[in-house]
Structure 1
Amino acid sequence: MAQSLAALCIGFILDFILGDPHSLWHPVQGIGSLITGTEKVLRKVFPDKKRSLQIAGLLLVIFVVSVSVLFAGLLLWIAERIHPALGFGLSCILCWQMLAAKSLKTESMKVYTALEKEGLEAGRRAVSMIVGRDTKSLSEEGVIKAAVETVAENTSDGVTAPLFYMMLAGPLGGVFYKAINTMDSMIGYRNEKYRWLGTCAARLDDIANFIPARISALFMTAAAFVLGFDGKSAWKIYRRDRHNHKSPNAAQTEAVMAGALQVQLAGDAWYFGELYKKPTIGDPIRSVRREDIRAACRLEYGAVILQFLVMVAVKAALIFLI
């Protein structure tokens, strides 16, 4: 347990310093290729009918999660057998690659920089790289909201949730979560193509994120108080609007973010040419502005650091007691 905690601490620090270097291969790329390949095989085998596609989706989830965790476990086992130091080093690297605190900040700040230096069209292109919605017709306000919402939601999906699972089960816990979350991001849509094939992946992601999303919201609220945002409003909007989303988890951190920044987020959005009617989150006390993207990143970092410190303290205490 102590070695697993040390690897996670090193991985956490590496993520804050280095982020996700684009020159390095990332495990999520492998998981994504596995999902794509498995989907192609299953679509050839199973008829294009509701029940058949749901069964295919279940098999895809079982196969992708199992292969991802077993392959990562095998690599760690081999590395450990070669030399304990190699096994520990690989654990550190896996923990680092399961987290995305710096890359979330970097990619969202690209939207801020594009709006500042090149204008709306550049902002639309930049935000299209981090959201799934259609961005071609977004106003500047829409671009900013999309970036802020992405930071809020992915604080949980990209950082605090994998951190939670790695605290429970080491680097393999992170791989387990990333396999589920990557499937949801690739096939967990309610459009014609994935409505039935992606059902299982989407539901499993909802379950996997249920506790982390709520933990993330609480730490984000605490960070709002610590960093001088409107903590009282963050808590108020969280209590009121945390269920204003079809996903049971997405609005948890978005509600805190909206309250802390005193803006209104969410609302109707276009995905793949189809308009999705969505409730709003927060009160329009003021209009969103470009600086809100920077503020959202500060709140993300604050929440992540607070969660990390508390969880490390709890796990260290458990190691000491055991």
Structure 2
Amino acid sequence: MWMYSWQELFGMTGAAILIDWLVGDPKWPTHPVILIGRWIRWVEGKLYGKPADAGSSPAYSDKQLRARGIVLMLSTILLSFLVMAALVWIADAIHPWLGYAVSTWFISTTVAIKGLKDAAYLVAVPLQAGNLADARKYTGYIVGRDTAALDEPELTRAVVETVAENIVDAVVAPLCYALLGGAPLAMLYRASNTLDSMVGYRNDRYGHFGWASARWDDAMNWIPARLTGMLLVLVALAKPGLSARRAAAAVRRFAHLHPSPNSGIPESAVAGALGIELGGLNVYGGVASERARLGWPLRPRTQRDIRYAVEMLYGVSYVMMGGLLCALLVFAWIG
């Protein structure tokens, strides 16, 4: 059975960051997250019925739904881990360098720095040109709220919140798990996050069936989210125009108000660093929902804040890359 050293894990993770900076999410072959999503929908259909047929799904008790949701969660994360471990094992058995290449590539698919930037700029570019119609359309691709009536400050808020929250999910957490267990553990994390995004909702259908997936994702993100908060403060300290002091204060003051035990940390940090307020009134399917307000509204939000948020996203990835390079230098020096 293959087992990578710390030096190898750090090297492959650093190379994965570089690949994501340059390439982003691969279009071919099929992205692993798409395959994981298909598995989740297939198992969900077997255990609960298809979402479109929710009204005709078999009637299960809350306890039965939670038990079936646990089966979905365990089968998804274990299959993702085992398939990835098998691929790495086979590649390593053929040649160690092939094992490195396969591991590095798949770690890069669990990270989405460039993809998150591209999605944000799809909104920022038409906003800058005053094209609200396109900005609303592209915002609708990355958020669940209604976007048809949003103005520039609200479109900006939606994108900045998405970028900030996903610094944990798309950068820090998968890289942390890659450092601990290579591509198999990073893919297990990505499966956990995909489960949460697909069934981890507090609504009539998924409140019980998705309970295990949501709680597991919260647990997986607990430490990475807090690390992300610290990294964002460091980035704000290094970048002119941002306030590290406000970022740290906002995390202490506002993060606990967010319904998620983790998402409030990066959102509060970004809001504090920028001097804007995130959160507020969202509309989902015509139903208004008030979210906790994070940060202090020291100035109005503008489309420029999307670029600031992306710069903070990249800043976090630069700090992590720098840390990896320093660690490799230390390994080389003591080894």
Question: If the TM-score is normalised by the length of the shorter chain, which range does it land in?
Answer: over 0.9
2:23 matched residue in structure 1: 18
Amino acid at match of 2:308: A
1:94 matched residue in structure 2: 106
Residues 214-239 of structure 1: CA deviation (Å, up to 9, x unaligned): 10110011100101111221111121
RMSD of Structure 2 on Structure 1 (CA):
1.9
Unaligned runs of 5+ in 2: 50-56
CA distance in 2, matches of 1:198, 1:314: 39
2:7 paired with 1:7: no
Q: Which residue, out of 297, 308, 315, partners 1:295?
A: 308
Q: 1:63 to 1:272 in 2, by over 3 A?
A: farther
Q: Shift in Å at residue 207 of structure 1?
A: 0.6
User: How many residue pairs were aligned?
Assistant: 322
Map 1:1-322 to 2 at 5 A. 1=5, 2-44=7-49, 47-117=59-129, 119-228=131-240, 229-311=242-324, 313-314=326-327, 317=330
Q: Shift in Å at residue 77 of structure 1?
A: 1.2
- Tell me if structure 2 keeps the 8 A contact 1:5–1:170: no
Amino acid at match of 1:208: M
CA distance in 1, matches of 2:63, 2:325: 44
- Tell me if structure 2 keeps the 8 A contact 1:234–1:259: yes
- Tell me if structure 1 keeps the 8 A contact 2:80–2:184: no
Amino acid at match of 2:256: H
Helix, strand or coil for the counterpart of 2:306? helix
TM-score by length of 2: 0.91
Q: Shift in Å at residue 244 of structure 1?
A: 1.8
CA distance in 2, matches of 1:241, 1:316: 38
Q: Shift in Å at residue 310 of structure 1?
A: 2.4
Residues 260-279 of structure 1: CA deviation (Å, up to 9, x unaligned): 11000011212344332211
Which stretch of structure 1 is more off in the superposition, 173-182 or 19-28? 19-28
CA distance in 1, matches of 2:118, 2:251: 26
Q: Percent identity?
A: 34
CA distance in 1, matches of 2:148, 2:199: 23
Residues 250-308 of structure 1: CA deviation (Å, up to 9, x unaligned): 11011110011100001121234433221100111111001110111111111221133
Q: Shift in Å at residue 88 of structure 1?
A: 1.5
Helix, strand or coil for the counterpart of 1:276? strand
- Tell me if structure 2 keeps the 8 A contact 1:165–1:174: yes
Q: Shift in Å at residue 139 of structure 1?
A: 2.2
Helix, strand or coil for the counterpart of 1:20? coil
- Tell me if structure 1 keeps the 8 A contact 2:10–2:324: no
Helix, strand or coil for the counterpart of 2:206? coil
- Tell me if structure 1 keeps the 8 A contact 2:176–2:224: yes
Amino acid at match of 1:257: V
- Tell me if structure 2 keeps the 8 A contact 1:155–1:304: no
Helix, strand or coil for the counterpart of 1:78? helix
CA distance in 2, matches of 1:315, 1:203: 35
Unaligned runs of 5+ in 1: none
Which stretch of structure 1 is more off in the superposition, 44-53 or 128-137? 44-53
Q: Shift in Å at residue 24 of structure 1?
A: 3.9
CA distance in 2, matches of 1:317, 1:98: 26
TM-score by length of 1: 0.95
CA distance in 2, matches of 1:135, 1:115: 14
Q: Shift in Å at residue 315 of structure 1?
A: 7.0
- Tell me if structure 2 keeps the 8 A contact 1:68–1:179: yes
Helix, strand or coil for the counterpart of 1:153? helix
Which stretch of structure 1 is more off in the superposition, 293-302 or 3-12? 3-12
- Tell me if structure 2 keeps the 8 A contact 1:46–1:53: no
Q: Shift in Å at residue 321 of structure 1?
A: 6.3
Amino acid at match of 1:7: M
Which stretch of structure 1 is more off in the superposition, 145-154 or 16-25? 16-25
